[in-house]
Each structure stands twice: as C-alpha cells, then as structure tokens.
Chain A
Amino acid sequence: MTYPEPLTLTDGRLLMRLPEDGDVAAITRACQDAELAHWVPVPVPYEESHARLFVAERPARWQAEDGEMTFAVTDAETAELLAMVGLHAHDATMRELGFWTAPWARGRGVMTDAARLACRFGFDVLHLQRIEWQARVGNDASRRVAEKLGFRFEGTCRARLLHRGERVDGWIGGLLPGELT
C-alpha cells in the first residue's frame, strides 16, 4: 500500500500541513490545557520533549500501515497553530478521525472546518469506505463536531478507551462515503 506524500489542505481560512519543528512551542502550550488533557490522552504533565517527539515521528507515521496522517491546522493568514487533526489507520479503507483544538482557537468552528477537510481528503484521495470517530463519553464538543460533519452516532462502549492507563467509556460514530456534510 502506498500513500500520497504529506500534502497541504486549505479552504482559504485554514491551512493544514504536516506538523513541523516550528510547531513544538505552540503544541506544548496547547497541551497544558486541563480541558484538552481531560478528553485527549496526551501525557500529563506535557513537556516540550513530548511535542518534539510527536513532531519527529509524523513523517514515518504518515506512511505506516497502522500509522496516522496528521495535519497541523494553522491560520492561513497569520500561520498561527490552531489545532491538530489526524486520520489514524485501522485498515486499508477505514481510518479514525482524531483531533484537538488549542484553547486560543476554540468557539469559531475551526475544528468543524478542519475535520471536514481531513474527511474529504480521506474519501476523495484515500478512498476510505468508513471514517470512525471515538470520544470519551461526555465530550460534547467533539460529538458536536462529528455530528455537524454527518457522523452518525453508533454506540457507547464501556471501558474501551485507555486514557493514561485509566480505562474510560467511549462513544463511537461512523461516517460513510456520501454522508459528509
């Protein structure tokens, strides 16, 4: 299986590209947020070395069969880092959408637009047949993004997600070709 080289996606307002060294400081700052850490299993405390490793691993992870294609979501004008969105491979035609939004970028639909670009890439370029969404139960903001994109809620899975060693209940949803809104 060969994948397209890392590429840039944009809708004019946002520009999405492979994370790079210059993002380390902003990633580190975003991951200090307690809200983010509650819903996303990032290391706590989150140190700069974590961000550095995360960025360094991205190119290899992009091509790996069980890897993920990660996009740093930036403001197309100011180049400020706003969010992170990724498509994690389950198999050749199914990936899982994952994302977080920096505290300074919330409340203006950044993630809805960014995730939409990522999903469109998933269907149009990767020819996925299913994109899955999972979130820790209670993560209403994540669920709103998923539902705005047309994901259908499919179930609640007990103790399915591993958050820093703790097993938590998870929501699951799916988006099939033709359903992206």
Chain B
Amino acid sequence: MSADTAVLEAGGLQLRGWSAGDAAGVLDMSADPAARQWSSSMRRIASLQDAGEWVAARCRSETEWAVCDAATGELVGRIGLFGMAQGPAFAEIGYSVAAGWRRRGVARRAVAAVTAYGFQTLGLARISLVHAVANAGSCAVATGAGYVFEGVERSSLDHGDGIRYDAHRHARLATDPFPTDGGSRVNAPLYAELESDRLLLRPPTEDDAGATRRLLADDDIRRWNPGPDDTSEAALRTWCAGQGDWSNGSHATFWVFDRSAGDLLGTVSLFKIDHAQADAEVGYRVASWARGGGIATEAMGVLADWAFPALELVRVELFHAVANPASCRVAEKVGFRHEGTLRQSYVYGDGSRHDEHLHARLAGDRVPVGQRA
C-alpha cells in the first residue's frame, strides 16, 4: 500500500489500508447483489482485473480501509471517509459488509472505530451518513453509532443505476456524546411509509395541519382520542411535525390517507415503545368522513404487521373504553385479544374516568384471516 493509512482495531476486526492482494476478496464482494445495488463502483467490477483497479484506486487514499476478521485476515467489508474537500472539518462515512458477514455487528463496530478516528485523530467536526431509505440496515447502524437523523432527502442519492433514491441523512458532531449503550440498542425506525390496497400510511408533517384540524373537530375523537388543546394553525403545525418526528424512539405515528384520492382518513400510532421490554401500545383515530368502511381495521393491520418485525416487538397492547364498543371490534379483527377489563383506569377526553378493555397481540399470534396487509 502506498498511502499511510492508520490501522484501527474494532472488537475482533482489523481495519487496514488496501493492498494489491485484496483484489480476489473484492471480486467476491462485488458478486453480491446487495453490494452491487448500493455501490456504483462495485457494480462496474466484472473481472479480477477490474477488482485490481478498484483496489489500486483505494490504495492511494488515507481514509479508506479494508475491514478484516482480525483472527483470520479474511476480508469482510470496506469503509471510508469521503468528501473531505468539501470543507476542512466535514466528511461522509460510507461502508459495506460482505454477504456472509451481515447481522453480526461488523458495520456497527467498523463505523464506531472510523467515527472515533475521524473525530479524535483527523479533527473532524461533523460526519454525515447518507443511505437509501430502502436500506433499513444502514439506518440501524447509523442510529446505533450515534448518527442523528436529520431528514429525508428526496431523489438525492445516485448509486449510478439510473434511479435516484430517497435518502436519509444522519450526522454526528464531534461534540455529540458517545452513545452510552455502546450502540447495542434495538433499532428504532425514524421514518416509514406503509401501503395497503386502499391506504397510504406516512408520518405527518406540518403541512397536514389543515386536514388534521378537520379530523380532530369531531365529538367522538374529542372524547376518545383528542388532539392538542390549542387548535390554532400554528399549534397544529407544530403538533403535526412532532407527531411525525420519531427521533426519540418512543413512537411511530402515521397519518392514514386514501391512496388514490390523497384524503386524510385517520391516524394510527405505535407509542410508549419500550425497546428493553420489546413492547408498545397502539392507538388510532378515524375521520368522521371515513367511518364505516373498515379503515381502522385495515390501517391497524398494516401497522401491526409492520411493527412486530421492524421494531422486534414481542407484545403490543391496545386499550379502549368499555363505552367505546367500536374499538373493541377493531381490536379483535386485527388480532388483539381481549385480556381483561380494567376498572376506572383512564380519564378520557370527556373528563370522566372510564373502565377499559385491555387487548394485546403477541409476535407469534395467529392473525385473523383476511387481516394481513
């Protein structure tokens, strides 16, 4: 290797500069469909010679590393810091992991090591991590390594395959505290869009304030699941933005729209998400103009089918007032079994304490036929 690349150790991994002998390993890595999908440079590799040229280009860099199994020396991935010409203290981190080595914490450990090197040795102030929205694994790596979610940039990512992908931008600053849990936390998604035959579910934005006001201006909703007290335009914009911001990991809230007409039909939310306990609660609202069409059942089904695997949940609970029997039917249809009746357990929007049914669905439950998204 010609460049003077630092060797980094990361929990059983060794990160070192590239050398000519890596070509065969790179050729293997480039055969993996996922590597080809997310990397334009890997996609161009068709022969050992191509792989050799790929390696040669990286040998010149001081901030690109081959990620190897420290015990055997096997090439298990690659990682680098890029774009440092943009500004003296900025960089973007990029990486990939060989097919047989995924889901073993390779990316998390490599990103942590390079992040620390970037801040402590190179004196960087900010490192960005940009990944395609569809690449959920990278989102988990980013959040686990303390890279804060900043937004969804539409059509911003060019992987060289003629498609521009929506991307998540995450970033970590040198001044951010290191994640205290060592990045082992279960991934909390920051954004998702879900679809069923009739519905589109997405996190609300402040632009949904107008339709949201109409939805909330309803006696049933005021009683069973009210919105904020302040229903001014400004307050609702803030509230909607907050409902769409999942960054604290405690909730995943969707506004539910008619897929073809685009009208707001309701809301569904997973909240009180407890990653340690692997459980959460669900709640929903159906707009007065959308009742009687099975919207709640369909939307809750989509939410539940997504949430159990996406958040690795074991148990999701649903509470409703006994006086609200419509919710009981929705719960049962979506596979939330009635477990008991809690006496005087919650003060609802009417100011009265109500008896409640507790329903719950577990990850392994058989779900009623016809309720799968």
Contact = CB atoms under 8 A, between A and B. Distances in A.
Contact of A152 (B148, B154, B169): B154
Contacts of A93: 158, 164
Nearest to B158: A91
Interface string A149-162: 00011111111101
A132 interface: yes
Contacts of B164: 93-94, 129-130
Contact of B156 (A130, A153, A156, A162): A130
Given A162-B87, A167-B125, 8 more contacts: A93-B158, A130-B155, A132-B156, A154-B154, A155-B153, A157-B128, A160-B90, A174-B154
A176 B151 contact: no
A40 B171 CA distance: 23
Task: Give the dominant DSSP class at A's interface.
Answer: strand
A129 B150 CA distance: 22
B152 interface: yes
Contact of A155 (B90, B125, B151, B158): B151
Contacts of A154: 151-154
Interface residues of A, number: 21
Interface string B140-164: 0000000010111111101000001
Nearest to B241: A153
Identify the interface centre among B87, B152, B154, B205: most chain A CB within 10 Å of its CB: B154
Nearest to A177: B155
A157 B154 CA distance: 15
Interface in B111-144: 125-126, 128
B89 interface: yes
Going nearest first, the 5 A-B pairs with the smallest beta carbon separation are A155-B151, A130-B155, A154-B151, A155-B150, A162-B87
A157 B151 contact: yes
Contacts of A153: 205
A26 interface: no
Contacts, number: 63
A12 B87 CA distance: 39
The DSSP consensus for interface residues of chain B is strand
B173 interface: yes
Contact of B153 (A158, A159, A162, A174): A174
A158 B156 contact: no
Interface of A: 91-94, 129-130, 132, 152-160, 162, 167, 172, 174, 176
Contacts of B151: 154-157, 172
A174 B156 CA distance: 8
Contact of A156 (B89, B150, B154, B158): B150
B126 A160 contact: yes
Contacts of B125: 159, 167
Nearest to A179: B154
Contacts of A155: 150-153, 169
Contact of B90 (A132, A152, A162, A172): A162
Contacts of B153: 132, 154-155, 172, 174
A45 to B, nearest CB: 22
Contact of B148 (A94, A158, A167, A174): A158
Contacts of B205: 153
A94 B169 contact: no
Contacts of B128: 157, 160
B89 A167 contact: yes
Contacts of A172: 150-151, 153, 169
Contact of B169 (A91, A130, A157): A157
B193 to A, nearest CB: 14
A154 B206 CA distance: 12
Contact of B158 (A94, A132, A167): A94
Contacts of B158: 91-94
A114 to B, nearest CB: 24
Contacts of A157: 128, 150-151, 169, 171
Given A94-B164, A167-B89, A167-B126, A174 B171 contact: no
Interface in B81-124: 87, 89-90
A174 B87 contact: no
Nearest to A175: B154
B233 to A, nearest CB: 15
A176 B154 contact: yes
B121 to A, nearest CB: 19
A98 B32 CA distance: 40
A129 B156 CA distance: 9
A158 B148 CA distance: 9
A126 to B, nearest CB: 14
Contacts of A152: 154
B332 to A, nearest CB: 39
Contacts of A129: 155, 164
B150 to A, nearest CB: 4
Contacts of A156: 150-151
A151 to B, nearest CB: 10
Contacts of B152: 154-155
Contacts of B154: 130, 152, 154, 174, 176
